[in-house]
Chains A and B, each alone.
Chain A
Amino acid sequence: MHTNTQSKMYTHVHLAGALLLALCVGCGGDAMGDTDGGTMGTETGSETSDMTAGPGSDTDGDCPGDLAFFDQEIWTPLASMTCISCHSPEGAAKGTSLVLQSADEEGYLQYNFDQFAGVALTDVDGESLLLLKPTGQHEGGHGGGMVVTPGTSQHEALVEFVARVRGEFECGDDTGGDTGVPSCEQTGGGPRMIRRLSHVEYNHSLIDLLGLSGDLAAVGLNFAPDNVVHGYTNNSDALLVSGLLADQYREVAETLAAAVVGNLGAYLGCDAQNQGEAVCAEQLVEELGSRAFRRPITGSEKARYMALYEEVAGEDGYEEGLHWVVAAMLQSPYFLYRTELGVHQGDGVYNLTAHEVASELSYLIVGTMPDSELLATADDGTLLDPDVLSEQANRLLGLAESRRTLDRFVEEWLGLTQLMIVTRDPGLYPELTPAIRTAMLGETHRLVADVFANGGSVGDLLTTNYTFATDGLQSFYGLPGGGEDPDPEGFKKVTLAGNTYGGLLTQGSVMTTHALPTSSSPIHRGKLVRERLFCQELPPPPPSLDTSPPPVDPDLSTRERYALHSSEPACAGCHDRIDPIGFGFEHFDAIGRWRVMDGVHEVDASGEVKQTQETDGVFDGALELGVLLSGSNEVLRCYAHQWAEFSLGVAERDGLECVQEDLEEALVGAQGRLDSLVHALVGAPHFVTRVGHSGMPVDPDTDTDTDTDSTGGDTSTTGDDTSTTGDDTTTSTTTGNDSETGEASEGVEFEVINDSSWPTGECNTVQVYNVSDAPVTWMVHLTLAGQMQNYWNAKATVDGLEADFVGEDYNAVIEPNGSTSFGFCVNF
């Protein structure tokens, strides 16, 4: 029977995990906390904290030793960033039992390990001091306030560290929730997923589906923005449909349905008068459905839409019937989500269908639904041939539309989505007109596209000695006139003299976005490099410190004002990593113009990269910084990581680490060549394979839908996990803590799956199956493990610990071999 065991779930997005990934707010004033205009990197949205990547993360079998664990999980992300700013020999906490050495000191790691172990072994009322102090729970408080939030991965790491130094931890302890799902290393495939279209993808898809233009072509772009994770708008765990978005989808769908019906001839080659209205309606359902769903519409789906058509047309006629069919289709989950679910091959391995691969490829490269040529290779199944797949990838890369995906990545990577709206004091910077901002963005787009198209590398991107500028931008930058023939929008390729501008980071778009309303900002710019080129996340400052800066002294240069950060030990921990890089951009003012004077001071743009793995070095000015960065494999790996987050739509999710690591190695192996990432991903096993619940019955051949050929198996209306083989009529399969027991009505089976639990309560999902050969109205009775808190997708009658569940209107009846589910939470 349904033997899938308890699996750790992502059901509850973990708030606390996001707290740690906050800004390194500097020491007051213009310190880096004032990231006005920046949402880069660390400000995560509904970061789905990775509950399974808890202590040790040893599910792969590579459980680190205690010192390595300390290095990876405590020192690098926490102690070296946050604790040491006070707990240093000179710091505010120098008199405490925790005094840390900086990484410059020989043997610092072992020394610091011992310091932490000492605190970990100290008990206060039965709790380790290491778990009390940084969480602000110690009676005497913590001078630095709460720097670690319970429930976060950093807190988990501290808990594991305490267990380790007390000898209470063994590698392999944390293998709970073994689902029998093969690992990424074994198969190369990540987890089965669905990915809701981002607003941009939704917009492009509708344009292509319906040939929209004018005002209609802007649909979706004015929706309330989605949650952003690490600066990216396409994180599949964050892209959920809310009540607000459902309303917005409806609004657009109805508007477009009216447009389609108003110009029906353009969408439907069928003559209702001669061929019959029902025939034409069916043709529309078939054609539009198959394109909107990006795979052949199934017979049962067609029947569902035809039932809607007939109901409405019966009352209000043909066109009104079509209107509501189109409106529904454009809100269908099969349009709004692309599936990467595949067909079960056994042992938890799923092969994606040709149509799923077509969508994956198309959204990856051109950010929209597959075009007809690509769809044809999915229809005949040839796309699954690696040569055809590669050929199609190359074809799509050659399309102009591929540039916009690249543009979107670069904008989100470097935070340029804010360029058009960051505020500059109009009195100080009247030259920064909307036209100049637009030209700056055009410059960046063209440079990236040029480097990409010519087989250039990340290093090239950071060091180019040419750019693309309009006449207006050329004069804004103070670059000499001339250049090649302009493109239709007036951009010319301009050779740079090599002593001022050069490389992506010196462009006006980057410099302007990362500055303040009235001045440049070494902090923002340094932080950009740290977070987006080194992938180092910076924590917030310890709270409770007085971070107010002394009054601004007009006699000081920007650089001198910021120098205060490094003279203050509490600030230096972070700012030593940030400011010396940011100073390298001081030749660029708040709107990206080259300057030699900062007020009355001559600009000093010398800087230093410190505390990196392999990129440390001194430099003078942004051009030298670009050279330093361009030679670094560390930067390449970071770029690959950024691109992987964007392209896979995940942020460090279980099962995808190995794909991300493969991409990093591929980019390093290709010396940073930009297009190597696309080819590496398309060629990876993950692109066509997924892993999932291996306990589910496997029998794709029983797909009852005869309209669908085997390559279109994703259109099956009965999921793999609903084709049951049971012979008993009433069972209770309980997983998790075995605390819920119960029974179900005839013909119904169910299982209780524990989604999450905590000392005082738990939440469960109950999967209900119809194992009979007729539709059933189901009822499930459960004896609860605690007091009912809330439930969903079902109606409940609760009497003490006894609860009867029946379906809501939409899931009260289950078709034969179908299933539904509901959920509930209890407090013990």
Chain B
Amino acid sequence: MSVALNRRRFLLGLCGLAAAPMGLTIHRSRAAGGDTARRLIIFFSPNGTVHQFWRPEGGGSDFSFPVGSILEPLTAIKDDLIVVDGLNFFQADNHEGGMAAMLTAGGTPGSESGGMSLDQYVAANLGAQTQFKSLEYGVQTSPWGGNIQTRMSYSAPGQFVTPDDSPTSMFQRMFGDLLGGEDAALKLRARRQRVVDLLTEETTELRGRLDNAEKHKLDAHLEALAAVENSLQNGGTCDVPVAPMDLNPALDENFPAITKSQLDLMMLGLECDMTRVASIQLSHTVSPTVMSWAGTSQGHHTLSHTDDNNTQLLSEFVACERWCAEQFAYLVEALKARPEPDGEGTMLDNSIVLWAKEMGDARAHVCTDVPFVIAGNACGRWETGRYLSFAGESHSKLLVSLCHAMGLDNDTFGNPEFSSGPLAGLE
């Protein structure tokens, strides 16, 4: 298979006119009505919340973030947000259950969403011919390795999508083939494609010798090679930024700098349309990260279990959460500051950013009243600047709404017994 350079920017459409499905692959039909966003970004920070420090005051479009509260750092972008309260994860509780359910809503292979996480489902069905179907940026997600606590993205039930905690490695993956210029990139991609062809042949051959129970291993490998091929076929010409500093991603002290590097890389990738679906995961549930820069000497998870009477540790927890809010604000403000390349409005106008957490009140290990914040109006699909409170509805409705806002038309997300249809009141 030959390789050609795509100049991605010319392929960008306007609001609600994302690239049409191509090729033989069956994509879901686009939603019939309403405007849709072009890109989806998931932002995760761990260990639930303490609601009295999280909740805004007021309601509907008349609300504010109390002084000193967790969301106060979002004040400047308040009009770009929808704060969503009162959603529950059904049939899931605790750190592990919450982490797994957050973006999957308990899907199985038989569910409409196939047990994928929101980001992977959208990426798989968007039909965008981008270099990467999705990009997963991590900050200290992996010192414990990959497991149910440390992963939020699923390509299938039980199949984690691994985020990369190293900005250096992300940089190489995104821009490495462009370092030698465009002609060199074209040649490099052609050579790599030739190697992928050889590897696919070998892998298929070895797969044929396996017992059925083992074949899934090389099925995964073949899928990985297909993803590589996709990135070679859809590689674009992006401006190469300065490489990020090479810092040890496992050390707490590097956490803020790496967060910024990853967010900046993510912005570049989105701006150049390397992908339409991206996520950034700050640590993981049960995170032991000591956010000393926020003024604490305790691990984040320890802080999240602070009783109401322990005002000192609670204030330290809130300080950590406020720092996370600042990172979310940084991302949203960056999207807002950049015009949509060759399009209309700002990148934020064409985006949905979801700040997700894996639990409600961490102290009780429950997944009720799980806090969400949405940024971006999805090309005018919905009104921002609102604080919505629900009465224990399934968060799978929110996931359906987000899919619809990305132009998909699924009725359910995750376990269909929990709910169907979108979240009434959001649009």
Bound-state Cα–Cα, A693 to B209, Å = 11
Expressed in whole angstroms, the minimum distance between the Cβ of A193 and any Cβ of chain B is: 6
Find A543's partner among B157, B202, B366 (CB 8 Å cutoff): B366
Contact B365 A25 (CB under 8 A): yes
Select the residue from A136, A196, A224, A427 with max chain B CB neighbours within 10 A.
A224
Q: Which residues between 560 and 603 of chain A lie within 8 Å of chain B, taking CB atoms? A: none
A401 interface residue (CB < 8 Å to B) = no
Main secondary structure of the interface of A (DSSP, over half): loop
Please, which residues of chain A bring their CB within 8 A of the CB of B203? 333
Bound-state Cα–Cα, A312 to B191, Å = 8
B59 interface residue (CB < 8 Å to A) = no
Mask: chain B, 297-333; 1 = CB below 8 Å from A; 0 = not: 1110110011111100000000000000000000000
B195 interface residue (CB < 8 Å to A) = yes
A389 interface residue (CB < 8 Å to B) = no
The residue in chain B whose Cβ has the minimal distance to the Cβ of A810 is B200
B80 interface residue (CB < 8 Å to A) = no
Expressed in whole angstroms, the minimum distance between the Cβ of B195 and any Cβ of chain A is: 5
Contact B305 A31 (CB under 8 A): yes
Find A34's partner among B1, B206, B212, B302 (CB 8 Å cutoff): B302
Select the residue from A45, A237, A427 with max chain B CB neighbours within 10 A.
A45
B369 interface residue (CB < 8 Å to A) = no
Given contacts A311-B194, A324-B194, A797-B24, whether A332 and B202 have CB atoms under 8 Å apart is: yes
B5 interface residue (CB < 8 Å to A) = no
Please, which residues of chain B bring their CB within 8 A of the CB of A10? 213-214, 216
Contact B191 A324 (CB under 8 A): yes
B66 interface residue (CB < 8 Å to A) = no
Bound-state Cα–Cα, A194 to B203, Å = 12
Q: Which residues between 238 and 282 of chain A lie within 8 Å of chain B, taking CB atoms? A: 238, 240-248, 250-251
Please, which residues of chain B bring their CB within 8 A of the CB of A353? none
Expressed in whole angstroms, the minimum distance between the Cβ of B289 and any Cβ of chain A is: 8
Expressed in whole angstroms, the minimum distance between the Cβ of A500 and any Cβ of chain B is: 28
The residue in chain A whose Cβ has the minimal distance to the Cβ of B248 is A421
Contact B219 A792 (CB under 8 A): yes
Bound-state Cα–Cα, A48 to B214, Å = 12
Find B219's partner among A11, A135, A226, A308 (CB 8 Å cutoff): A11
Please, which residues of chain B bring their CB within 8 A of the CB of A821? 207-208, 215
Bound-state Cα–Cα, A242 to B109, Å = 19
A43 interface residue (CB < 8 Å to B) = yes
Contact A331 B307 (CB under 8 A): no
Bound-state Cα–Cα, A820 to B92, Å = 40
Please, which residues of chain A bring their CB within 8 A of the CB of B211? 7, 191-192, 692-693
Q: Which residues between 17 and 46 of chain A lie within 8 Å of chain B, taking CB atoms? A: 17-19, 22-23, 25, 28-31, 33-37, 39, 43-46
Bound-state Cα–Cα, A516 to B296, Å = 13
Please, which residues of chain A bring their CB within 8 A of the CB of B227? 243, 246
Mask: chain A, 285-310; 1 = CB below 8 Å from B; 0 = not: 00000000000000001001100100
Bound-state Cα–Cα, A808 to B1, Å = 12
Find A540's partner among B96, B143, B218 (CB 8 Å cutoff): B96
Please, which residues of chain A bring their CB within 8 A of the CB of B136? 244
Please, which residues of chain B bring their CB within 8 A of the CB of A123? none
Contact B299 A796 (CB under 8 A): no
A496 interface residue (CB < 8 Å to B) = no
Binds A, one of B70-78, B161-169, B395-403: B161-169
Please, which residues of chain A bring their CB within 8 A of the CB of B97? 19, 22, 146, 149
Please, which residues of chain B bring their CB within 8 A of the CB of A796? 24, 26
Contact A224 B163 (CB under 8 A): yes
The residue in chain A whose Cβ has the minimal distance to the Cβ of B23 is A795
Given contacts A760-B110, A761-B109, A810-B200, whether A546 and B363 have CB atoms under 8 Å apart is: yes
Find A43's partner among B148, B161, B166 (CB 8 Å cutoff): B148
Bound-state Cα–Cα, A11 to B215, Å = 7
Select the residue from B100, B164, B211, B364 with max chain A CB neighbours within 10 A.
B211
Contact A810 B201 (CB under 8 A): yes
Contact B307 A811 (CB under 8 A): no
Contact A551 B309 (CB under 8 A): yes
Bound-state Cα–Cα, A647 to B213, Å = 20
Find B110's partner among A17, A546, A692, A761 (CB 8 Å cutoff): A761
The residue in chain B whose Cβ has the minimal distance to the Cβ of A327 is B195
The residue in chain A whose Cβ has the minimal distance to the Cβ of B156 is A12
Contact B145 A228 (CB under 8 A): yes
Contact A308 B195 (CB under 8 A): yes
Contact A196 B160 (CB under 8 A): no
Bound-state Cα–Cα, A199 to B298, Å = 32
Given contacts A33-B305, A818-B208, whether A246 and B213 have CB atoms under 8 Å apart is: no
Bound-state Cα–Cα, A22 to B163, Å = 22
Contact A788 B212 (CB under 8 A): no
A825 interface residue (CB < 8 Å to B) = yes
Q: Which residues between 173 and 232 of chain B lie within 8 Å of chain A, taking CB atoms? A: 173, 176, 191-192, 194-195, 197-228, 231
Bound-state Cα–Cα, A246 to B230, Å = 12
Contact A758 B147 (CB under 8 A): no
Please, which residues of chain B bring their CB within 8 A of the CB of A236? 217
The residue in chain B whose Cβ has the minimal distance to the Cβ of A151 is B108
Contact B220 A240 (CB under 8 A): yes
B91 interface residue (CB < 8 Å to A) = yes
Given contacts A18-B158, A304-B198, A796-B24, whether A548 and B305 have CB atoms under 8 Å apart is: yes
Binds B, one of A461-469, A482-490, A605-613, A715-723: A715-723
Contact A825 B93 (CB under 8 A): no
Contact A22 B365 (CB under 8 A): no
Contact A19 B100 (CB under 8 A): yes
Contact A22 B96 (CB under 8 A): yes
Find A820's partner among B194, B204, B221 (CB 8 Å cutoff): B204
Contact B206 A194 (CB under 8 A): yes
Contact B96 A548 (CB under 8 A): no
Please, which residues of chain B bring their CB within 8 A of the CB of A45? 145-148, 151, 160
Expressed in whole angstroms, the minimum distance between the Cβ of B200 and any Cβ of chain A is: 4
Select the residue from B142, B145, B194, B199 with max chain A CB neighbours within 10 A.
B145
Mask: chain A, 195-237; 1 = CB below 8 Å from B; 0 = not: 0100000000000000000000000001011111100010011
Expressed in whole angstroms, the minimum distance between the Cβ of B413 and any Cβ of chain A is: 15
The residue in chain B whose Cβ has the minimal distance to the Cβ of A230 is B147
Contact B228 A247 (CB under 8 A): yes
Contact A334 B206 (CB under 8 A): yes
Contact B307 A28 (CB under 8 A): yes
B33 interface residue (CB < 8 Å to A) = no
Contact A14 B157 (CB under 8 A): yes
Given contacts A146-B92, A543-B365, A544-B364, whether A825 and B109 have CB atoms under 8 Å apart is: yes
Find A12's partner among B1, B91, B158, B223 (CB 8 Å cutoff): B158
Contact A250 B228 (CB under 8 A): yes
Contact B288 A226 (CB under 8 A): no
Expressed in whole angstroms, the minimum distance between the Cβ of A291 and any Cβ of chain B is: 17
B286 interface residue (CB < 8 Å to A) = yes
Please, which residues of chain A bring their CB within 8 A of the CB of B387? none
Contact A332 B310 (CB under 8 A): no
The residue in chain B whose Cβ has the minimal distance to the Cβ of A6 is B212
Contact A333 B96 (CB under 8 A): no
Contact B195 A15 (CB under 8 A): no
Select the residue from A331, A334, A797 with max chain B CB neighbours within 10 A.
A331
A671 interface residue (CB < 8 Å to B) = no
- What are 9 A-B contacts with C-beta separation under 8 Å? A7-B213, A10-B214, A34-B301, A243-B223, A328-B195, A427-B297, A517-B288, A543-B93, A721-B208
The residues of A with any CB-CB pair to B shorter than 8 Å are: 4, 7-15, 17-19, 22-23, 25, 28-31, 33-37, 39, 43-49, 135-137, 145-146, 149-151, 191-194, 196, 222, 224-229, 233, 236-238, 240-248, 250-251, 301, 304-305, 308, 311-312, 324, 327-328, 331-334, 337, 339, 341, 418, 421-423, 425, 427-428, 516-518, 540-541, 543-552, 692-693, 716-717, 719-722, 753, 755-756, 758-761, 763, 765, 788-790, 792-793, 795-798, 808-811, 818-821, 823, 825, 827
The residues of B with any CB-CB pair to A shorter than 8 Å are: 1, 24-26, 91-97, 100, 108-110, 114-115, 136, 138, 142-149, 151, 154, 156-166, 169, 172-173, 176, 191-192, 194-195, 197-228, 231, 250-252, 286-290, 297-299, 301-302, 305-310, 363-366
